[in-house]
Structure 1
């Protein structure tokens, strides 16, 4: 029988999931929240007992009005604690978005004010720094058909002595 008191004493991890959606021209879909500065990938907090993928799908449906085609995980980014906020694991799933889907986007007005398709090199000009820092490694991993592991947006080398 599991020791429930022991498991209850363990630290809890916060998590978020986001969708890195590209159109046929390689532009990235960003959304603009009403409650904070900057542009972000569609996505949000992983709720209790929810998987990262389920959270990504749910958030896209809530924020965009449809579930995009997701092709797989491209990034896990561990964010260290800062400004009184606990650490967070962010899961980024890549997918595609069609022109018709973009035209059909219905943003929840109490949460999002706008959406845009942007060339990857323009993301640092629009996105919050903690979002922008994971874009280049995520896009590179997507192009290489792999996933990347980051800590505070910096790719971690595997196989090298630390």
Structure 2
């Protein structure tokens, strides 16, 4: 081989596009671990769920998870939060009406006082928000979400990223 590329046959693009259209799509959830100076975690209370949750939500079509997380925090709480490295990636099995999906938790860092003061509910899906200690979060979060919170906190302390199925 001389290192030159040969032209692809006509129809290759159409063939790939057809295959792409038939392949399954994966739903993506992107949340953010935001903390205050006391390392309490910011939680939101969604109107459509029984339990509290981390700020964040579903990515839109062709939206990168990190941008989805930042957009969701801005839409829910009216602040532009920093969204850093991924702390956790989970494959979540189908449950109830939901297909399987990928769940990301990103590091949002410690919010400065001016960001905390600017927090407000800007999305009708959110009924309230609060900063919670880890012990308080255990009582507020669904058990699987609490385990994710603990894994994300561990990843934050150790500089790692947690992955689970």
Whether TM exceeds 0.5 here: the answer is yes
Distance 2:92 2:123 in 1: 28
Q: Which of the two has higher C-alpha Rg?
A: 2
Paired residue for 1:146?
160
Name the CA shift for 1:35/1:82 in 2 (closer, same or farther; >3 Å).
closer
State the SS of the aligned residue for 2:153. helix
- Is 1:7 the equivalent of 2:20? yes
- Is 1:131 the equivalent of 2:145? yes
Paired residue for 1:101?
115
Give the drift of 1:71: 2.7
Distance 1:56 1:84 in 2: 23
Paired residue for 1:111?
125
Q: 1:121 aligns with which of 120, 135, 139?
A: 135
State the SS of the aligned residue for 2:32. strand
Report the number of matched residues: 151
Paired residue for 1:60?
73
TM-score of the two chains, using structure 2 as the length reference:
0.86
State the SS of the aligned residue for 2:85. strand
Q: Hey, which bits of structure 1, 4+ residues long, moved more than 3 A?
A: none
More helix by share: 2
Give the drift of 1:109: 5.3
Paired residue for 1:23?
36
Distance 2:46 2:76 in 1: 10
Q: Unaligned stretches of 5+ in structure 1?
A: 152-162
Distance 1:88 1:133 in 2: 17
Paired residue for 2:93?
80
State the SS of the aligned residue for 2:75. helix
Task: Judge which range, 45-54 or 69-78, deviates more.
Answer: 69-78
More strand by share: 1
